[in-house]
Amino acid sequence: MSFESNTKLDIDGVAEFLNLPPSKVEKLTSKKRILQNWGKYQNLFRFDKKVSKIETGTVLYQNNGYFELIRGFPKIKRAMAVEPAVKSHFKNSGTVSVEEKMNGYNVRVASINGDVTAFTRSGIVCPYTTERAKYLIGQEFFEKHPELVLYGEMVGPDNPYVPKSIYNIESLDFFIFDIRYKNTGEPLPVYERRKLMNDYNLNQVQLFGEYKIEEAPENITRIIKEIGKQEREGVVIKDPQMRINAIKYTSSESNCADLIEGFKFYNDFGRDYFYSRVIREGFQSVEWGESEEEFQERCLQLGRSILEPMSRTMSKVAEGEEVHEDVQIRVKEPETIYEFEKHLKRMGINAIFGTPLQVGDEYLVAIRKLNQSTNDKTKAIWNGSLWKS
């Protein structure tokens, strides 16, 4: 991919392409609502905030008066109580399709000027993810469908953001859950998308089934209980024609796993992150009509998910240790390691990279991510600092 260096945003061209006044585009740029990507991706601009009908994380590609829009993924609202949510939200749809919500990190993959490029949710090009996407997806699909964008989840243990070993994946894999057109963001219907992915032998999230609205809540509850036992995350409930926005629902095991991770680094996560997961547990417990024994078991699991990781963090810091997160990546090209290290620094992530180990024709690299805010806050408290409230 050859991009001009120091490329500036074409204010007038972008305004015409997006049907916005030039003054609006200029204001968005000056207020850093439209940000330029780094290095060789300077022809890519990301929307840091939602603008009109343009989603946060949307990416604009410009090249000599030509423009393309890689739309951000529409925010999926959450069902707190399955039965009323499904019956209300999908009242104009006869059935719903239920697919797995996998636990990884959200990625969009598109062909930009003929090159496969991967974007994180915020619209930043991740060099590691891009290398893996090129390897996992290849060129054939985009040679025939350059107008489409693949939306999916990067899942597996060689994951620098959300490492998970529950899916029996050796390294890192990409599971597609949506396909949309460039510029408009119009989605393909569920079964059209699934057929297309099958035609190209590309991985996609599991389809549990299609259910009539009146039967869906019972089946979704059954599915959630089954996958929860395997510590899998949850489901996404969709109108098969994709005319109605999807909604999501997660397992108790996933909620508690998130709380364990969050409270381990209690000062690095926002309060909304913790609060929403606790509220989910309350609604799920009541809707499922749990027995006293089941309710007490949920209480113990929830309490342990909050207190145990936090206490361990506080003990470690009291003993002079630093809490950290150990992750790893696996790359084809050594240059990707260097590029990813620079990427994390730009993101403000303090990370220590180990020596690459050759595994077959790839390189495995251990990374230690330091969660400085939690370390600093805990040290300060042990040294006598007071909490603000």
Answer whether 328's CB lies under 8 Å from 163's CB.
Answer: yes
The mean pLDDT of 198-217, rounded to a whole number, is 97
Q: pLDDT at position 1, please?
A: 44
- Measured between alpha carbons, how far is 179 from 108 in angstroms, rounded to an integer? 9
Q: Cβ-count burial of 290 within 10 angstroms (0-12 exposed, 13-18 middle, 19+ buried)?
A: middle
Q: pLDDT at position 75, please?
A: 87
Q: pLDDT at position 51, please?
A: 86
Q: Which of 187, 149, 182 is nearest to 17 (CA)?
A: 182
Q: pLDDT at position 40, please?
A: 86
Q: pLDDT at position 388, please?
A: 83
The mean pLDDT of 66-76, rounded to a whole number, is 92
Residue 161 has pLDDT above 90, yes or no: yes
What is the arrangement of strands in the sheet containing 105-112, beginning at the earlier edge strand?
A: 115-120, 105-112, 148-155, 173-181
State the pLDDT confidence band at 144, using cuts at 50, 70 and 90.
very high
Q: Which of 207, 198, 252 is nearest to 230 (CA)?
A: 252
The mean pLDDT of 323-337, rounded to a whole number, is 96
The mean pLDDT of 299-321, rounded to a whole number, is 97
Task: Express each pLDDT in 266-286 by its tens digit.
Answer: 999 989 999 999 999 999 999
Q: What is the 3-state secondary structure (H, E, C) of the chain?
A: CCCCCCCCCCHHHHHHHHCCCHHHHHHHHHCCCEEECCHHHCCEEEECCCECCECCCCEEEEECCEEEEECCCCCCEECCCHHHHHHHHCCCCCEEEEEEECCCEEEEEEEECCEEEEEECCCCECHHHHHHHHHHHCCHHHHHCCCEEEEEEEECCCCCCCCCCCCCCCCCEEEEEEEEECCCCCECCHHHHHHHHHHCCCCECCEEEEEECCCHHHHHHHHHHHHHCCCCCEEEEECCCCCCCCEEEECHHHHHHHHHHHHHCCCCCCHHHHHHHHHHHHHHHHHCCCCHHHHHHHHHHHHHHHHHHHHHHHHHHHCCCCCEEEEEEEECCHHHHHHHHHHHHHCCCEEEECCCEEECCEEEEEEEEECHHHHHHHHHHHCCCCCCC
The mean pLDDT of 214-221, rounded to a whole number, is 97
Q: pLDDT at position 308, please?
A: 98
Q: What proportion of the chain, given as a percentage, has pLDDT over 90? A: 92
Q: pLDDT at position 53, please?
A: 84
Measured at the CA of 120, the angle between CA 200 and CA 279, to 5 degrees, comes to 105
Q: pLDDT at position 244, please?
A: 96
The mean pLDDT of 279-297, rounded to a whole number, is 97
Q: Which of 197, 171, 204 is nearest to 364 (CA)?
A: 171
Residue 160 has pLDDT above 80, yes or no: yes
Residue 6 has pLDDT above 60, yes or no: no
Q: What proportion of the chain, given as a percentage, has pLDDT over 70? A: 98
Task: Express each pLDDT in 109-131 by its tens digit.
Answer: 999 999 999 999 999 999 999 99
Q: What is the mean pLDDT of the chain?
A: 94
CB within 8 A of 77, min separation 6: which ones? 245, 247, 248
State the pLDDT confidence band at 5, using cuts at 50, 70 and 90.
very low
